[in-house]
Amino acid sequence: MPGNEAIGVEKISKKFDQVQAVSDISFNVREGELFGFLGPNGAGKTTTINMLTGLARPDSGVVRIGGTDCTKRPRTAQHLIGVVPDESNLYPELTGFDNLCFCASLYGIRKQQRKARAAKLLQDFGLQHAGDRRFSGYSKGMKRKLTIAAGIIHHPKILFLDEPTTGIDVASARQLRKLIAELNASGTTIFLTTHYIEEAERLCGRIAFIVSGRIVRTDSVDELLHPFQARHMLRIACATQVRGTTDRLSNSYPGLKFSFPEENILQVEADEPIKAGSIVHFLEETGVEVTEARKIIPSLEDVFVEITGIEADALRTGQENSGVRE
């Protein structure tokens, strides 16, 4: 169960030349939590991670890692953290095993222990067959796995994961999400940045939405979804033009809200359960051929769109390969 503060952020800001990358953001992450940091590309996610891990200094504000104020002395808490950057940045000329041993040595771990931990992580991540191969020869999915393994080889209390599943295939993304969930279950606090809404919904306990360098909302997934779960939504797919029926639908069903997210799709929203059969019958009587009627369960995507005003498509750039929609 989440406990004491693992990460505390108070009003941090960062400007690069004329660009305000992060503006006055505050949040905290409790021990054992899996905290999601969700926003479109360029929202300030990586800049925030860099400030939290000591790779960048905030222009103002305070960062606490494990209770230590790292703002002025960013390197003081580095033994507590592990970082998996958005790009796999291990040494291409070293083997997988040697990469892990080298990363362990940076934390002062002795030779025998380094070797044992590297062998175990290769096993845990399903890379035991590739331990003696050069990192440069790994597939993207293998590279991400080894980069995560390198991030946890010193058993950090807090793990920063920056876009862990971006650009990898469906199967590897699934495996990685399983590994992330297992790590969190074993007690590691995880700070996860992603632009995949479903990934955040599936993995995280709490989520902060960041847009244009500002946090627009921080809450638990349940709390974020709650107001939307009271809504009832129906999506009706038609083989013929349906837009022309708007006025007649509104007159016949005054308590319902009608919209057209796509050309031949009718979306119905209400505060009470919707009688789908009645609407389908009404449409067919007016000459519209209905092919499918489906109840929509509100997702975090709907919450994100509502709160940020950003269409989810903007977040989903490059999602085709992520395997989120499994």
Partner 1 sequence: MNRWIAFLNIMLKDMRTYYLKPPNVSWGLIFPLAWTAMFFIKSGAGLGSIPELLPAVVAVSILFGTTSMLAVTVTFEKKQRSFERLLLAPLPLELLMLAKTSGAIIFGTANAFIPVIMAAFLMDLSTVAWTVFVPAVVLVAVASTFMGLFIAVAVSEVFEAQTFSNFFRFPMIFLCGLFFPVAQLPIFLKPLSFALPLTYGADALHGSVHGAHMLPFTLDLLILAGFCALLFGLSLRNIKRNWIA
Q: Which residues bind partner 1 (CB under 8 A)?
A: 53-57, 74-75, 78-79, 81, 83, 85, 87, 89-94, 102-103, 105-110, 150
Q: Which is nearer to partner 1, 106 or 185 (CB)?
A: 106
Q: In the bound complex, what is the minimum distance in angstroms from residue 83's beta carbon to partner 1?
A: 5
Q: Does the CA dihedral 5-161-184-24 come out positive or negative?
A: positive
Q: In the bound complex, what is the minimum distance in angstroms from residue 26's beta carbon to partner 1?
A: 22
Q: In the bound complex, what is the minimum distance in angstroms from residue 211's beta carbon to partner 1?
A: 24
Q: Which is nearer to partner 1, 87 or 320 (CB)?
A: 87
Q: Which is nearer to partner 1, 103 or 211 (CB)?
A: 103
Q: Which is nearer to partner 1, 84 or 207 (CB)?
A: 84
Q: In the bound complex, what is the minimum distance in angstroms from residue 45's beta carbon to partner 1?
A: 16
Q: In the bound complex, what is the minimum distance in angstroms from residue 125's beta carbon to partner 1?
A: 18
**Beta-strand pair 68-69/60-65:** antiparallel
Q: Which is nearer to partner 1, 81 or 122 (CB)?
A: 81
End-to-end CA distance of the chain: 29
Q: Which residues make Cβ contacts (< 8 Å) with residue 303, sequence separation at least 6?
A: 224, 225, 228
Q: In the bound complex, what is the minimum distance in angstroms from residue 109's beta carbon to partner 1?
A: 7
Task: Compute the distance between CA of residue 121 and CA of residue 218 in angstroms, rounded to an integer.
Answer: 33
Cα dist. 310→38, 43, 96, 210, 317 in Å? 12, 12, 40, 11, 13
Task: Compute the distance between CA of residue 313 and CA of residue 193 in angstroms, rounded to an integer.
Answer: 18
Q: Which is nearer to partner 1, 51 or 288 (CB)?
A: 51
- Category of 145 on φ-ψ map: left (φ > 0), alpha (ψ -120 to 50) or beta: alpha
Contact (CB, 8 A) for 29 and 7:
yes
Task: Compute the distance between CA of residue 286 and CA of residue 236 in angstroms, rounded to an integer.
Answer: 15
Q: In the bound complex, what is the minimum distance in angstroms from residue 10's beta carbon to partner 1?
A: 20
Task: Compute the distance between CA of residue 174 and CA of residue 112 in angstroms, rounded to an integer.
Answer: 32
Q: Which is nearer to partner 1, 57 or 202 (CB)?
A: 57
